[in-house]
Amino acid sequence: MIQEEKYEVAVIGAGAAGLCAATVCASAGRNTLVVDREEHPGGILRQCIHSGFGLRYFKEELTGPEYAERVAEKAERAGVRFRFGTTVVSIRRETDGALCLTSLSTAEGVRIIRADAVILAMGCRERTRGNLAVPGSRPAGVFTAGAAQRLLNIEGILPGKKAVIAGSGDIGLIMARRLTWAGIRVEAVVEIMPYPAGLTRNIVQCLDDFHIPLLLEHSLVNILGHGRVEAVEVAPLSRGVPVTERKFRIDCDTVLFSVGLIPENELSAEAGVELNPATGGPLVDSSYETGVPGIFACGNVLHVHDLVDFVSEEAEHAARMVLRRLDGSDGGSGQFPVRAESNLKYVVPNRFLPGCGTRFAFRSLIVCDDGVLEAEQNGKILLSKRFSCVRPAEMLTLEVPGSLLKEPGELKFRLRKGEEI
């Protein structure tokens, strides 16, 4: 017989977003469950043994496992219930308005979880070699940066002796330093863009401090080896195309790919949640509610963040919006569209409620040392904010007070270089 249980709030994912959102809901007296496919809370933080977490959220510098432990303890103290080693395979909305989750686990088999509200907090996954279609043979020694991080930090296994890292995402940069500490020589980090994809602090602390070469506007064009990686071929790019006659060989036995993250939203899409092609995450309103009533999203499942502190803050905000819905406030009606325009990849949230102050998050498409972010509605500039350093790797935010969001009509954002104004 399939067991059923009922909660007011069901949170899918026990990383920073899920734990922080669940803590807010449980602290308000709501019966809250967190479901996660792993056996322990904390998500990817558990394998991030470097420091640099928590400076904004906890006002002190922590390692990933320390941050995970802190947010997990807060959730436990608040009375959150957990179901680990459990995978949610479907979400459907019942005729009575309740949300029905079907979960699977080795210990308990199939279980039905009914909830008044669901918070999606499944995080993201890495792009792989397959996503890039890098040619060559298929030898051992090819990893995503996160998989190598888990292998080294959790399993205690050295992935190789000499490595090349494809892509300059933050996980790859951090792994360049971690591999060096473990005695593995990092020959180069290869990046197709003319600028790094990771945070500036990671470029300095993980590459510059260890004299690891960063090859900008270069691409891996071949992986050589049969039983094990023997080398890679790298070529410079001209207008985005590899100049193969100038390719060169780098001997190595390990290749790590750090080429971006993809929000985990297969479950969301099957539940009828509309996804944003610019982020890969759900389209949400200013309450962080998706187009499916009662389903909310926050953290890296919504859009990829650069700092876990921002993930925690966003999750707490989404949870407060969940509480408003459970208390009978319908924040979704009468909302108007939000659009990202010049030099912006995306904006989140995607709809706003007049009179409600909202923090918007963005990703830049340009690099500059003097940028101005503008909010416009009905042909009028409502607000602008200047940034002294604009990089695609670093999330931009803009708080727009409710006093400026009084009128109906589409809200547009654009980013301009200071010299253009």
Tell me the domain boundaries of the chain.
Answer: 1-125+260-333, 128-259, 335-421
Q: Which of 254, 255, 257, 237 has the alpha carbon at shortest distance from 246?
A: 237
Same topology between domain 1-125+260-333 and domain 128-259: yes
In CATH, the number for domain 335-421 is 2.60.40
The whole-number pLDDT of residue 132 equals 78
Q: How many angstroms separate the Cα of 262 from the Cα of each of 92, 144, 180, 279?
A: 23, 13, 27, 8
Q: Cα separation of 348 and 26, whole Å?
A: 26
The whole-number pLDDT of residue 15 equals 97
The whole-number pLDDT of residue 333 equals 62
Instruction: Sort strands 351-352 and 336-340 into parallel, antiparallel or unpaired.
Output: antiparallel
| 3-state SS, residue 62 | strand
Q: Two tokens at 132?
A: 């890039």
CATH topology of domain 128-259: FAD/NAD(P)-binding domain (3.50.50)
Q: Any bridge partners for residue 229, and if so which?
A: 225
Assigned superfamily of 1-125+260-333: FAD/NAD(P)-binding domain (3.50.50.60)
Q: Cα separation of 345 and 281, whole Å?
A: 13
- Classify each residue of 287-311 as buried b or exposed e, where b means 16 or more C-beta atoms within 10 Å of its C-beta: bbbbbbebbbbbbbbbbbbbbbbbb
**pLDDT tens over the chain, length 421 residues:** 688 999 999 999 999 999 999 999 999 999 999 999 999 999 999 999 999 999 999 999 999 999 999 999 999 999 999 999 999 999 999 888 789 999 999 988 999 999 999 999 999 999 988 777 788 888 999 999 999 999 999 999 999 999 999 999 999 999 999 999 999 999 999 999 999 999 899 999 999 999 999 999 999 999 999 999 999 999 999 999 999 999 999 999 999 999 989 999 999 999 999 999 999 999 999 999 999 999 999 999 999 999 999 999 999 999 999 999 999 876 556 799 999 999 999 999 999 999 889 999 999 999 999 999 999 999 999 999 999 999 999 999 999 999 999 889 999 999 999 766 5
The whole-number pLDDT of residue 135 equals 82
The whole-number pLDDT of residue 8 equals 97
Answer whether 99's CB lies under 8 Å from 93's CB: yes
The whole-number pLDDT of residue 94 equals 86
H or E element that contains 253:
none
The whole-number pLDDT of residue 421 equals 57
